[in-house]
Amino acid sequence: MAALSSPLRVCRGILKELRSSKGPEYKQTLAYNFVLDQFRKNQVTNERHCRARREALHASHSYLCLLASTRHHLTLHKLFHGKGEREPEQVARLVGLQLPTQPGGKGWEK
């Protein structure tokens, strides 16, 4: 069995992710209520070896990973890949080169 962190940490992690994306009104979201509800429901069986609880913990762990990774990915995407591809001229200029030009055009322009 994989090492899962404690339910409380996962729960707080998920709420933190929700808050970082929705701002202060994150408490009104569907997910906030649902997540808290699920964690409370599963708390009852905390001390017993309970399969359902372990499954729920694994799922919540995956959800936390989904939210956090998506946020990280989006940050990097905006930083490095968000603008699409550069034009050939821009790429050439980046390394101090120029594309060859031909006086009077290349013959196939309209």
Partner 1 sequence: MLINLVRFQRQVGFVFSKCRNRDTWLPSVNHSKEYSAAALERKKFYQDVSISQGEDGLYEINLDRKKLKTPAGKLFTVPNEALAIAVATEWDMQKDTLKFYTMHLTTLCNTALDNPTQRDKGQIIAAGLKFLETDTICYRVEEPPGLVELQKNEWDPVLDWIEKRYNVLIGSSSNIMGPQIPKETKDTFHQHLRSYNFWALTGLEFIITQLKSLVLSFGLVDRHLTVEQAVLLSRLEEEYQIQRWGNVEWAHDYDMYELRSRTAAGALFVHLSSESSTVKHKLLQD
The nearer residue to partner 1, 82 or 103, going by C-beta atoms, is 82
Residue 95 CB, nearest approach to partner 1 (Å): 18
Residue 6 CB, nearest approach to partner 1 (Å): 14
Q: What is the rounded (10 degree) CA torsion for 25, 5, 64, 73?
A: 120
Strand segments (E) across 20-79 = none
Residue with tokens 């962190």: 5
Q: Considering only residues 80, 88, 101, 110, which one is a binding residue for partner 1 as defined by CB under 8 A?
A: 80
Map residues 17-56 to x or -, x wherever contact with partner 1 holds by CB under 8 A: -x--xx------xxx--x---x--xx-xx----x-x-xxx
Give Cα separations from 83 to 9, 60, 78 (angstroms): 36, 33, 8
70: helix, coil or strand?
helix
10 contacts 61 by C-beta, under 8 angstroms:
yes
Contacts with partner 1 by CB under 8 A lie at 1-4, 18, 21-22, 29-31, 34, 38, 41-42, 44-45, 50, 52, 54-56, 58-59, 61-63, 65-66, 69-70, 72-74, 76-77, 79-85
